[in-house]
Amino acid sequence: MKKAEFHLALPCEDLEVTKDFYISKLGASLGRHTDTWIDINLYGNQITFTKAGNFNFDFKNYRLGDQILPSFHFGVIVNVQVWGTLYSRLFSMDLEVTTEATFFENKVGEHLSFFVKDPNGYMVEFKSFKDHGEIFTV
């Protein structure tokens, strides 16, 4: 199957705070935008944030091995160098970087992972697979 970019649209309360987080902290770039929505280019994938005012969103969790993870999250798979650089940069900014762990260690699908909470309360996951070819291996 050919690679394709994903598109995800999410509500947010403050476009400027959201834009600053994704561009200044995560290193993404700004795409098309108006005063009511912005497109963020996150590693070639499009996330559209729409100004929605107050909204209620509860994070439910699930267990993966010894880790408790948020059921609702989105993320990007990057190589280990990008993963390490981003992890170090975000951690040094004193952001809420959580669940830095290796999953499926010594098994098919082994990967590093960490989560960071964006200004809207969304959990963004960054993964790096030991063997990129095992991303969809069963």
How many percent of the chain have pLDDT more than 90?
Answer: 41
CATH 3.10.180.10 fits 7-51, yes or no: yes
> Rounded to whole angstroms, how far apart are CA atoms 126 and 80?
10
Which numeric CATH code is attached to 61-134?
3.10.180.10
| 113 closest CA partner among 71, 80, 91 | 80
> Do the domains at 7-51 and 61-134 have one common CATH topology?
yes
Rounded distance, CA 132 to CA 138, Å? 13
Q: Could you tell me the pTM of the whole model?
A: 0.76
- Angle among Cα 94, 40, 109 to the nearest 5 degrees reads 70
Q: How confident is the model at residue 58 (pLDDT cuts 50, 70, 90)?
A: low
The torsion of the CA quartet 12, 17, 18, 24, rounded to 10 degrees, works out to 180
